[in-house]
Structure 1
Amino acid sequence: MKKIAALALALSVLPAASFAADPSMCTGCHRAGSPTAPDLAGMPADQFTAAMNEYKSGARSNPTMKAMSMPLSDADIAGLAAHFSALGK
């Protein structure tokens, strides 16, 4: 029991940023058949990465996407890009 408590304590102090971004935060809007947002399945990783970095920097204007992209690290964006590009259409 002490080992479990120690593990729980250790995990609780890790920063949230150490965990990868969840693709479901994107697919709520970006899914097949969405009338307002493009489907991300099969999007080339470099295209996804460039778009997300442009939203973060403000080079691409969209208040919702700016807010969604700001907390993402480069590793988060790379992970999401790999995930969506691997899905294919």
Structure 2
Amino acid sequence: MKRSRFTEEQIIGILKEQEAGAKMVDVCRKHGISDATFYKWKAKYGGMEVSEAKRLKALEDENARLKKLQAEAMLDNAVLKEISSKKW
């Protein structure tokens, strides 16, 4: 997955700029982002504080790690079932 060139703190700062009264088009032009990117960020980070965004990132990372562990456990389980079903 492509890494963003903006951190969560920067994204929230950009969104707060627009909420403070700046026009969305001007904010996008100033920071070099597209309208679609701005609206995607607003849907994900709108109304959040920096601490909440850090917590969200930590939870997403933990969720990805747990999904990977579950997939590995399911694979091990499938292999063991296949081995035990064979007749010797």
Same fold (TM > 0.5) = no
Higher relative contact order (CA 8 A, sep 6+): 1
User: TM-score normalized by structure 1?
Assistant: 0.30
User: TM-score normalized by structure 2?
Assistant: 0.30
